[in-house]
Structure 1
């Protein structure tokens, strides 16, 4: 009799528990496995991305925001005069002027951009100031320069003796024929996911060497050189910006991930579409290089390029690595 009362009492308690919280028992005994996200993580273009990633990952590993990480990461390359395709020391245009382009985007689709900016060392930080301190998303040329001065940035000659010497040598022929993976190696794009799972990206360049003065490529254009969707993933591009702009390349990569493609497959599809357009216009694809990298919300990465020579750097909790980009032709 005692056992029967005990059984009925326990049954009543269990029934009451289920009525009050019907999911509690299921949650305790039938919990579904969840996928562990690979975060924090940072990915960037080219071999100089290895050192840039270290700067970014130090911020991420301490719980910092992805926006701060990508800004600080690419600034390392902007500041290095030995990197001749980004920032200080970048190769000039055909008139001997170093003009810089950059954009930045955070998890809330806040964006800032500068284009054809002269005499300011860190365009990525000016782009962030445009994002945070103006009602606009892009400032260009003299307007961008005046805004930078108003925000405390200092005027500085960006043309180093080495770059000036190369430019004067180029003037002897003035032949504009960019060399794939050398003069086209012209951008650092970086995307990161922090411990909160939030994505941000940055892209900065001095553009194609010996370009026409005023030329702007894909790097400062949201949706071309960089795009971030915090629900899906992010992508950034490098190479000949004119070709990336034609397809809104990074937006395309992110939308392909939205449709269920992996970062790798999305980058590959975007490059294939660019190649089709190049061939339709009867251009020689061997004269062009395009590369994409992408990161999704699970921390999965991918990268792909048109032809051999592109690489990208990834750093997460397991360490840092430089990955040769798979290529199409």
Structure 2
């Protein structure tokens, strides 16, 4: 317990014990009065009995003096004396019993008051330390995450609610506008205060689940965006870049939680966000919403189908006396959860984090089967095509710090763009026939299945960041060409920029001097020199001839040095999956060409329920088969990653025996594998059980 108790707590404790003392004194006085009245009543009863006996004795005595009745009266006198003795004994016994009852009541009141005093003092001490019982609502968010049995940096109650809403309720724009059923919310609060790992009852309305999310956020002693950043966030509302930098100042738990909540709010319009959610996510000191306090000040109570519609629970601390102790019961003040005191985390014992088990528990964490060869011990996990070590390290730093899978994808692919990995990613490489470099990129969120992509983008070097902007700020999936560039620049990315480099221009000049060989044209003239080109034949060209020329020519100029896209998959600490790609395409491509890099299902694909895939190689061929979509769907049907990857490659090889390409597959449990055709393939992996990035080699 902290060494110093705040004045607020001292006042509340003093007030309680003062009221307890007054109550005890009043109880004693009442009991004393009761005993006095009992004694007085008993005394009156005894006097009355004595008077009656005296009268009876006097009358009997006068009769006794008469000789005729002397004998009979002697017998009656004996009987009366016996009756009188019995009355005396009965009156005395009744008086004694009443005194005992009065004394017992005084003792019971004193004992009950002392017990409640002790209980409340214990609760005050526990709240002072910030670890009262198992409560989830009203507890600082960092503490809630610290003591839960999970490695997820987000409160489990929000993960549970998010999973439920994603499966059942996110299609409604009105979802977060309702306050839900008050009784149901109170019962859910009680449920999670008792067991933070509890599952939501079957058949519950998504509106009530959304209301529970709002109730939890409003119960935090400090808003999700913190008091410290309130003014900065308010002043930066008109600038996305400034806002992004401010939000990066948030503690990891707050940032990850905010990102989760934001993902749930994507369908809400701006006005609804401002009116319904802003006051719950951020507020100034002393300006929190009072409406929700009625929900989280609830005792823990088991929630079941039988009591889902029961009456509202009462807070046991609201009244000193229990129900039925009298209408004059003294009400004690509520114990505040947001007392403003800094929490002493050193005073809290950390619970041992539950290790992933062999039996999957989708409501808590992803387990890792131990029987597979290439298997990570736990999340997060980063997998990428080729030995792009720095790109994988950049993604790992982001996801290991608690950022989302999507954030890590963008960081990793952007690092590769900045480094110009192998000259085939980012600016300064792979010139087209005109000597210009363009960018293709894709980002996919495996939770929401949202995709953003840019293709043949000119003058903007940040392909992955532009793709994420398309995903997050448009209803489209892909933007292309100069219009994609204009959009990216309008959203704050730097540009316009010349994407060519000295190296790319020198390569292009040599290619021109070599008669523009090799190139990607077919069935045109001239064959061995640069254009302009025209049709080789005006008549019918057989399909077999096209296939033959395609397969023989491609094998000669598609290889590691001019065709290796970065395709990356990330599984974050919450078990959520995302993928992304970035490439400057095939060297000496025909201007306007778009390869498989920005094509969802071809270069990459992710589904939170299954896993992810990344691909590289001859994109013009591979996009006809959507190999990554095939890999993920094969894993959904129960196929292991190694077999799923091999199957997808063989489907292409049966039609194009000379094609070159590769895929990697990773399932939701972290098992990964690769397959290739026409070349030796390498992919990179980083997981918690590795000291650094490891490169895996796959033979054709």
**TM bracket (short chain):** 0.7 to 0.9
State the shift of 1:316 in Å: 0.1
Aligned to 2:669: 298
Aligned to 2:598: 220
| Equivalent position SS for 2:632 | helix
Distance across 2 between alignment mates of 1:294 and 1:33: 21
Work out whether 1:182 is the aligned partner of 2:580.
Answer: no
Work out whether 1:79 is the aligned partner of 2:418.
Answer: yes
Aligned to 2:587: 209
Aligned to 1:321: 694
CA contact (8 A) 2:661 2:679 kept: no
TM-score (norm 2): 0.40
Work out whether 1:196 is the aligned partner of 2:521.
Answer: no
Aligned to 1:17: none
Distance across 1 between alignment mates of 2:625 and 2:558: 22
CA contact (8 A) 1:178 1:209 kept: no
CA contact (8 A) 1:184 1:289 kept: no
- 1:1-150 alignment, distance < 5 Å: 33-34=358-359, 36-37=367-368, 38-48=378-388, 50-81=389-420, 83-106=422-445, 107-150=447-490
State the shift of 1:326 in Å: 3.0
State the shift of 1:242 in Å: 1.4
- 1:259-274 alignment, distance < 5 Å: 259-274=637-652
Distance across 1 between alignment mates of 2:421 and 2:396: 23
Distance across 1 between alignment mates of 2:420 and 2:646: 33
CA contact (8 A) 1:47 1:311 kept: yes
Distance across 2 between alignment mates of 1:290 and 1:145: 29
| Equivalent position SS for 2:656 | helix
Distance across 1 between alignment mates of 2:679 and 2:627: 19
**What whole-Å deviation, never above 9, does each CA across 1:73-115 have from its counterpart, x for those lacking one?**
0111101246310112222101111111111001211110000
CA contact (8 A) 2:680 2:699 kept: no
CA contact (8 A) 1:77 1:83 kept: no
CA contact (8 A) 2:558 2:618 kept: no
CA contact (8 A) 1:263 1:294 kept: yes
**CA 1:91 to 1:264, structure 2 compared with 1: closer, same or farther past 3 Å?**
same
CA contact (8 A) 2:558 2:660 kept: no
RMSD value, Cα: 1.7
TM-score (norm 1): 0.85
Work out whether 1:289 is the aligned partner of 2:660.
Answer: yes
Higher strand share: 1
Aligned to 1:244: 622
Aligned to 1:16: none
CA contact (8 A) 1:293 1:301 kept: yes
Distance across 1 between alignment mates of 2:642 and 2:491: 39
State the shift of 1:158 in Å: 1.2
State the shift of 1:253 in Å: 0.6
**Greater C-alpha radius of gyration:** 2
Aligned to 2:37: none
**What whole-Å deviation, never above 9, does each CA across 1:173-200 have from its counterpart, x for those lacking one?**
2012524222222x00000101100000
CA contact (8 A) 1:178 1:184 kept: no
Distance across 2 between alignment mates of 1:82 and 1:255: 30
CA contact (8 A) 1:103 1:112 kept: yes
Distance across 2 between alignment mates of 1:159 and 1:33: 51
Distance across 2 between alignment mates of 1:308 and 1:135: 38
Aligned to 1:169: 510
State the shift of 1:312 in Å: 0.5
Question: Which of 230, 250, 255 is equivalent to 2:633?
Answer: 255
CA contact (8 A) 1:218 1:224 kept: yes
Q: Which runs of 4+ in 1 moved over 3 A?
A: none
| Equivalent position SS for 2:650 | helix
CA contact (8 A) 1:190 1:201 kept: yes
Work out whether 1:235 is the aligned partner of 2:577.
Answer: no
Distance across 2 between alignment mates of 1:197 and 1:33: 16
Distance across 1 between alignment mates of 2:599 and 2:400: 29
Work out whether 1:307 is the aligned partner of 2:685.
Answer: no
| Equivalent position SS for 2:557 | coil
**CA 1:111 to 1:75, structure 2 compared with 1: closer, same or farther past 3 Å?**
same
Distance across 1 between alignment mates of 2:628 and 2:563: 18
**CA 1:158 to 1:53, structure 2 compared with 1: closer, same or farther past 3 Å?**
same
CA contact (8 A) 2:427 2:439 kept: no
CA contact (8 A) 2:439 2:583 kept: yes
Residues matched between the structures, number: 290
